[in-house]
């Protein structure tokens, strides 16, 4: 079932990518074409196949010691930010609530 413009608009809203009406049409065409390209993987019977999320063989349990390492200075941290005030990053009004943790 093909994605509609409404579907694509919903994804764009979630992905925080504002699209103009014309871009939305193009994007819908693109997405449906791209999804058609994925057809080959739908033909498999994969019930008994384990996924390979990490192409790293048997490598596991990679971790580091709990030892502090010097980070960035405040100036370095804020250097690339377009908006900040005193010691903090600054964002405009947040209407929706959030924060899952």
Partner 1 sequence: MRKLSEVLHDWEAVIGLEVHTELTTLETKMFCGCRLSHDDPPNTNVCPICLGMPGALPVPNRKAIEYIVMAGIATNCEVMRRSMFYRKHYFYPDMAKNFQTTQGPVAFVMHGHLDLEIAGDGAKERPDGTIEKAIDGSYVAPIRILRIHMEEDAAKMVHVGGAEGRIGGASESLIDYNRCGTPLIELVTEPDLRTPEEARRFMEKLRQTFLTLGISDCSLEKGSMRCDGNVSLRRRGESGLGTKTELKNLNSFKSLHDALAYEICRQAEVLEAGGTVLQETRHWEPSRKRTVVMRVKETNDDYRFFPDPDLAPFDLSDEFIERCRARVPELPDTKRDRYVATWGLKRSDAAKLAGDPAVARRFEDASHGVKPQAVPMLANVMLNLVPAYKALTLLQITSITELLAADALSFSQARKVLEAVDGTGKMPLAVARDWGMLQSNDTEALAAVVDEVLGRCEAQVQQYRDGNKKVVGFLVGQCMKASKGAGNPKVFNQLLVQKLEG
Partner 2 sequence: MTSLDTLTARQIAAGIAAGDFTATEVAHAALDAISARDASTQAFLQVSENLALEAAAKTDAARAAGESLPPLAGVPVAFKDNMNLLGTRTTCASRMLETYESAYTATCVQRMLDAGATPLGKLNMDEFAFGSTTDSSAFHPTNNPWDITRVPGGSSGGSAAAVASGQVTLALGSDTGGSIRQPASLCGVVGMKPSYGAVSRYGVVAFGSSLDQAGPLGRSVEDVALAMNALTAGGRDRLDATSQNCAQDHLAHLEDPIEGRAVGIIPALLEAEGLASEVRTAILDAADKLASAGAHIVEVDLPNMASSIAAYYVLAPCEAFSNLARFDGVRYGYQEPRCTTLAEQSSLSRAHGFGPEAKRRQMLGAYLLSSGVYEKYYLAAQKVRTLITADYQRAFAQVDAILMPASPTVAWEHGAISDPAALYLADVFTISNNIAGNCGISVPVCLGADSGLPIGAQLQGPAFADAQLLTFARALERACHMEGIVAPAFAGKGGELA
Residue 24 in contact with residue 4, Cβ under 8 Å?
no
**Binding string to partner 1 for residues 37 to 56, with x set by CB under 8 A, is what?**
----------------xx-x
Q: Is 76 helix (H, G, I), strand (E, B) or coil?
A: helix
**Residue count at the site for partner 1 (CB under 8 A)?**
38
Q: Which is nearer to partner 1, 22 or 54 (CB)?
A: 54
Residues in contact with partner 2 by CB under 8 A are: 3, 8, 11-19, 27, 30-31, 33-35, 37-42, 44, 46, 49-57, 59, 62-64, 72, 76, 79-83, 89, 91-96
Closest CA to 74 of 63, 84, 65, 64: 84
């Amino acid at each position: 079932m093909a994605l509609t413009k409404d579907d694509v608009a919903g994804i764009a809203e979630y992905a925080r990518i504002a699209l103009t009406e014309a871009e939305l049409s193009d994007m819908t065409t693109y997405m449906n074409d791209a999804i058609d390209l994925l057809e080959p993987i739908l033909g498999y019977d994969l019930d008994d196949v384990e996924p390979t999320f990490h192409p790293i063989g048997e490598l596991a349990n990679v971790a580091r010691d709990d030892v502090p390492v010097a980070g960035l200075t405040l100036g370095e941290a804020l250097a690339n930010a377009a908006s900040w005030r005193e010691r903090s990053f600054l964002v405009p009004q947040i209407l929706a609530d959030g924060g899952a943790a």
